[in-house]
Structure formats: structure tokens, C-alpha cells
Amino acid sequence: MRQQSATTYVGPSKIYLMRHCEKPDHGLTLSTWGYIRSMAIVPWFINTFGMPDCIFAMQSGDVKHKTLRPVESVTPLASACGLPITIGYEYDQYQTLLQSLMTLQYQNKTILVCWEYKELTAMAKYLGVTNPPPWTSKIFDQVWIITFDINGTATLQTQLEDLLKGDRSKI
């Protein structure tokens, strides 16, 4: 778990955590519905949160975690914002990624991280969120907003996308 003293918080003001968009039953890429969501996210994200300063996506890894979905999910948003997608971290390297964000390089930045759902709750805990809810395999329609106060205390809010037919409008 990340440790910060009350007077030395260094890091982003917000980290947005999202799962990759919908997937097919087999394959490494998004489903048609997933591609539709990735395009619909662009105006929704920008209008809801503004443009992020940085975008990170899980890099395709070994056979068990070989996937292009996180990168595909944020590519339309990155393109619209004129931002590169940083992909230097594999599935089990999320702690290394999150540690790298707690530096002056990302001071007061807003950062979007797209990952596989199985690690999102652990990521929120690592960032200091107390008792984050589980992110289940059926959830594709939300973003977690982790906000850090001046002392580095993390709080979590859930924002539902409500973009496509079947999306939840309430938690």
C-alpha cells in the first residue's frame, strides 16, 4: 500500500480506473459492442470529466493475459485528446505503474488507467481507498474516480456511463 505523510503528498489529483470495453466469447480484441462503447466513451468522458492529462492501458502479456482490449478501449479517447497511450505495464505490474504515478512528474495531473477488471479493486486498495466494492465480470459501464486530497487521502466515487442499451442508470 502507498504511504504518504500528511505534508509530503506527491502525485496526481485524480486517477480514473476503468475496465476495458466488452469482449467476445473468444479472441484478444473487443466485441462489436465493445468497439461501439469505446467510441461512445469519447464525448461522454470529455464532457463528464474533461480531458485526462495521461492515459495508461494494460499491456498484453503472457498467454493467460494476452489481450488487446485495454488499449483498444482507450484508443478513440486518446486520439480525440491528442494523447499517447502508455502501455509499459502488464497485468500483474499494476503496483509498479501506480508507484510510478506518485511522483512529481504526475503532480496534480488527472490520469486514466484502463485494466482488466480482476485487478481494479486491488488497484483502488493499493491507492489507499478503504473497502472498495468488487468489480465483477459483468461490469463494463462504470468508471471509478479516485481523488486525492492535499494530504494524499484517497476517496472513491463511481460514475456510471449509461451510454448503451442495457447500461445501468443507478448503482
Where do the structural domains in the chain lie, given as residue ranges? 14-20+29-160
Above pLDDT 70, what percent of the chain?
Answer: 93
Mean pLDDT for 37-48 is 98
d(CA 111, CA 89): 15
- Reported as a pLDDT band with limits 50, 70 and 90, residue 39 is very high
d(CA 165, CA 171): 16
Q: Which fold has domain 14-20+29-160?
A: Rossmann fold (3.40.50)
d(CA 23, CA 83): 24
Q: What is the pLDDT of residues 124-149, one digit of tens each?
A: 999 999 999 999 999 999 999 999 99
**Contact indicator for 119, 94 with CB cutoff of 8 Å:** yes
Cα–Cα separations (whole angstroms), residue 149 to 37, 40, 93, 113: 31, 30, 25, 19
d(CA 36, CA 49): 20
pLDDT above 60 (res 97): yes
62, burial (CB in 10 Å: exposed 0-12, middle 13-18, buried 19+) = exposed
pLDDT above 90 (res 8): no
Q: What pLDDT shows up at residue 3?
A: 53
Q: What pLDDT shows up at residue 36?
A: 98
What is this structure's pTM? 0.93
Q: What is the pLDDT of residues 57-96, one digit of tens each?
A: 999 876 567 789 999 999 999 999 999 999 989 989 999 9
